[in-house]
Structure 1
């Protein structure tokens, strides 16, 4: 009995244990399935998440996406509320039955908040109307707020100068600085014949700052529009925004001035070269417009020209201005001539070919077939230029005349001579100037000084004096000066250290003994500071000359030439007594602007500003006419007289008008052939010649 009970009890425990084990297995299975389900749910991307992701991507595309989303929600709300109103009207009629158009209009005006539910409406219509108005207020207010935000964003984008420029055939200027004012002024003159010309500026400066600067410094733009944009000039995206591929020409400005240190100039040159690379990358080598750049380093100039041969024209401010300085200091009035030649104000250089052919005439006969233009030389069919072409050279059909004229519309070739010139009064070449020793003084040291010293040494006669005065005579300046002096032993050269703020020390230079004193721009934070220093030295010298003349009863004939950075200081320089002057920014800016419109003109400037070949001179009238024949003469007479001396006459200088600004300081360039002049022995001809004799 006991054994049977024990076996029964043991069997019973075994059954319960098995039941418990099965239950535990079931629970573990459920937990496992639940866990697996949870993991599957976590790994699976639900349709809600996918929808949210697509919506986020859509909204991130910008303002148009937000606008479309708001409009979609508005339309959806309109459809929902219209459906709700139809249902309400069906079960709870609100007065006389309304047509579909009336009901739709009522829902719409309630959504945009222009109409309430109406006092006569029943409760159901009012309830739906209130909901409609509430939804409309939220949605319509959001839409209005979005439009306002987008409008403000667009204004901010315009203020920052980031928007697209939709222009073609425009002049593109990359960079910004003081020089940009004179460039734009020149382009305004060049574009007067166009009804709607455009200049686009891209620079890494604030747009509002650029716009304010241009408004303050340019009085009138006439037919030209100026568009400014902000951004790095070497960024391809920025270049595309300003229409680099459809620009007529591109000017890349240099950040550095002649007074800056060499390290900063090198960095600025590198940035210009990088800008050239960006333009080439944006356009491709096959579709490049003319690119005009200003570079200080000869190394970078060669590099720039090799990037895109034939498309890049480089200009070196120091090289050109130093040569102009020497030429103008040796011939009073020549600086004014150069100012009339460069740029678009006054006279310009043109390449002209007669449509009817040249009728087998010689270069000497050509001037008398052009009434309002003066030929200076020939551009041959192979592209080579010859200034002051031999007068016996016969023009071929492929030749282009290099002419100086007020406008290209005035250039016309006549088959027959238009003016009969007077051959009686002309003298032959045997009449020459007797060259004397010359004395010159340069005050100040910058990138142009060494070039000017060497140009003086090459051009003056033996035993002439060329001195240099600087405030701080460094070892570097002394070594460079001594190298130049050793290279030209036939010239007397001396360098001195002088405190320019001390009138007593300036007097020790004996400035009255020099033919000309050139005051070069020094260093400073800005053009105003540099010019102030130059003008101070100028006034001190002028005051000393007055005192010296009063004390010795001797007239001082020394000419003062000052290098002025800011062209707006011109009037100050004239009132200070400078008979000749340099306007650095104006000279270079005029050349940059003109070359941007006609790149081949640069080769003419390079020839004119070089000692090699022909140069411009202002020579006394008695070299060309006997004293008893000087009087009433036509410009044609002057041209023929110059030809007899193997020279090309381009104008006349009247000495009695040398200080009259509205008479262009007595300079008359390329007048009409039949213009009469009443000349005296003190007047002069402006000619292109091989030398000063």
Structure 2
């Protein structure tokens, strides 16, 4: 600005400087403004009063009384000294009252802000602690609420570097009914031992370390190991296990990492106290197993969530000294699948039927709840006429088509190689050169698969029509992880629409396994009887919740997901009992036992496209009678 400043600018500058002097200046300005307003109005009140005093002295007294009453100064009238002293006392009383109100208000505001910040100590006991924040919070909280529904009082405590009220609002929106479970949020760093102390981990039943949501310029889809997400899990585990204030007894900690190559470091950080899973590895194994057995994803979701039947471990003294084969038929509303050996804590899934149950062993069974694993005295009879022997089947080379690409694809290919017979082939179609380079690099490691790759846009119908889709036994659709998750699911849905159209042209269904990011998109997908959907985050969240309630389940699922261990299979029902023959499930279990299998349910092919069960019935009441048709399956736990 050139030239001399204007009078208005000078006045504003002077006013700003005066106000910047702090509280005394503010009080002075407030007093001056009030006097400028109050005194003239007091004069007008005296002038407008019908009983206005006639003398100037009395009029001034009335003006003084109106002014004093406005400022709460008492308005005493008397000698000048008396008035002065009364004003001083009134000012002191006014200052004291104002200060007291200010202090109370300030204290209440500070307390409210402290509560809002979530910095108070949690005094719960036997609660579940969640460290961190991601989309895993909501399914985990929901499952814990379901798991604790039979308890009078339970608590879930969350510590995250996020506003407490914001966390509570999000949870209330996604999990509106928490039943008897109290959800408590605290604000703090999960990597700071002092902040972790706020959630009272010393008295917690279990601690779940959430996998941070990875962020990238394209959206939350980048590998968590690329942006430090897995590193945060490692630091959080160290903050818990290495804290000087930690308890003497071992913690029960559950965690998951996004990238498999961070698994070993994370397990070292957690030590023997932590059960650590690899999201990539489990997702890849589940995709492979499901691609070979349509309906398997529904079975796992049923076993992993607390709304259906789950794995429980129960000691049964009446079965000690008897065989595992006898235990298979000892329950009518529970389905044994193995033993937890009391001697060394080893897990034995589907042991030999003549395995003797020892003192201290516990039965691993699929059941509705932990209190429903009860031995039955029902006098069942095995229908020997209905039991059949399985028809021999010669394994044939298979062909697999993979549409799309992400960081789990190489693991999927190497896992598939362990399942298929020699001479099988796998073809990948994906955009860019990353997939082609990776396939070429992994080809030398494959023993049974002949892998190939071509570039193409899987969302274009022309690309899919050129692939001779009808010549493939299995189709796997993977979501890209270098783009936004919503965009990846959108592309997956478009690809599924084109595949459904090709099915109509071929006149038969394609067995498609689809990987999705958001479980809500599953409801939008065009499905058929042979479709399966894998939502990695949801599966891992459910798995972590199960393990947090029972640490032995980590080894159960390790065995089920491993290619060399026992797995869940959907076998033709005609390999166990005669079709169209009325039997009870005791007979099915006995037939499976003779083949060295543990039967846990069945699937109706006629209901395979009907949600939510898609024809799956786990742990049926063995007393109920049923008959199977062609295409129906018996669900068993078996070696192969």
TM-score normalised by the chain length of structure 2: 0.82
Equivalent position SS for 2:384: coil
Secondary structure of 2:324 counterpart = coil
Structure 2 counterpart of 1:280: 241
Aligned counterpart in structure 1 of residue 555 of structure 2, from 603, 615, 619: 603
SS in structure 1 opposite 2:374?
coil
Query: Residues 341 and 146 of structure 1: is their aligned pair in 2 closer, same or farther, counting only changes over 3 Å?
Result: same
Instruction: Determine the C-alpha separation between the residues in 1 that align with 2:173 and 2:501.
Output: 34
Match of 1:652 in 2: 602
SS of the residue aligned with 1:287?
coil
Mapped pair 1:463 → 2:423: yes
Which residue number corresponds to residue 88 of structure 1? Answer: none
* 2:293 pairs with one of 319, 326, 331: 331
Distance change in 2, residues 1:433/1:222 (3 Å): farther
Cα distance in 1 for partners of 2:448, 2:92 equals 98
- Give the Cα–Cα distance (whole angstroms) in 2 for the partners of residues 646 and 205 of structure 1: 52
Counterparts of residues 447-462 of structure 1 (less than 5 Å):
447-462=407-422
Distance 2:247 2:200 in 1: 16
TM-aligned CA distance change 1:303 to 1:128, over 3 Å: same
Taking the aligned partners of 2:529 and 2:351, their CA distance within structure 1 comes to: 38
In the other structure, the counterpart of 1:636 is 586
Q: Does 1:221 align with 2:178?
A: yes
- Choose which of 213, 223, 235 in structure 1 pairs with 2:192: 235
Partner of 1:93: none
Report if the CA contact (8 A) 2:224-2:258 is conserved: no
The RMSD of aligned alpha carbons is 2.7
Q: Does the 8 Å contact 1:566/1:584 carry over to 2? A: no
Give the whole-Å Cα distance in 2 for the aligned partners of 1:575 and 1:515: 17
Counterparts of 1:36-435 in structure 2, within 5 Å, are: 131-256=88-213, 260-261=221-222, 264-265=225-226, 267-282=228-243, 283-284=245-246, 286-298=248-260, 300-354=262-316, 356-381=317-342, 382-414=344-376, 416=377, 418-428=379-389, 431-435=391-395
* Partners of 2:503 and 2:509 within 8 A in 1: no
State the distance in 2 between where 1:594 and 1:541 align.
35
Aligned residues of 1:423 and 1:640 also touching (Cα < 8 A): no
| 2:617 corresponding residue in structure 1 | 668
More helix by share: 1
- Partner of 1:616 in structure 2? 568
Alpha carbons 1:174, 1:202 under 8 Å: kept: yes
Report what 1:556 is aligned to.
Answer: 508
Partner of residue 688, structure 1: 637
Match of 2:458 in 1: 500
Q: Contact conserved, 1:172 with 1:200, CA < 8 A, in 2?
A: yes
Runs of 5+ in structure 1 lacking a partner? 1-112, 550-554
Give the drift of 1:168: 2.2
Q: Are the equivalent residues in 2 in contact too, given 1:380–1:400 (CA < 8 A)? A: yes
Q: How far is the alpha carbon of 1:508 from its aligned partner? A: 1.5
Structure 1's 575 and 217: CA in aligned 2 closer, same or farther, altered over 3 A? farther
- Rg comparison, structure with higher value: 1
Q: CA offsets, 1:47-93, max 9 Å, x none?
A: xxxxxxxxxxxxxxxxxxxxxxxxxxxxxxxxxxxxxxxxxxxxxxx
Alpha-carbon distance change, 375 to 313 in structure 1, aligned in 2, over 3 angstroms: same
Counterparts of 2:523 and 2:530, CA distance in 1: 10
- Distance in 1, matches of 2:88 and 2:247, equals 65
Structure 1 residue 375 displacement after superposition: 0.8
Distance 2:224 2:374 in 1: 51
**By how many angstroms is 1:132 displaced?**
4.0
Work out whether residues 432 and 623 of structure 1, in 8 Å CA contact, stay in contact via their aligned partners in 2: no
Cα gap change, 1:246 to 1:153, in 2 (>3 Å): same
Quick one: structure 1 residues 122 and 266, their matched pair in 2 at CA, closer, same or farther if it must change by over 3 Å? closer
Q: Residue 167 of structure 2: SS of its match in structure 1?
A: helix
The answer for unaligned runs of 5 or more in structure 2 is: 1-69
Q: Which secondary structure does the structure 2 equivalent of 1:270 belong to?
A: helix
Note if contact 1:457-1:466 (Cα within 8 Å) is conserved in structure 2.
no
In the TM superposition, what is the alpha-carbon distance from 1:313 to its structure 2 partner?
0.5
Residue 676 of structure 1 and its aligned partner are, at CA, apart by 2.0
Conserved in 2, the CA contact under 8 Å of 1:175 and 1:255?
yes
1:164–1:574 Cα change, 3 Å: farther
SS in structure 2 of the partner of residue 427 of structure 1: coil
- The 1-side partners of 2:179 and 2:223 are apart by 39
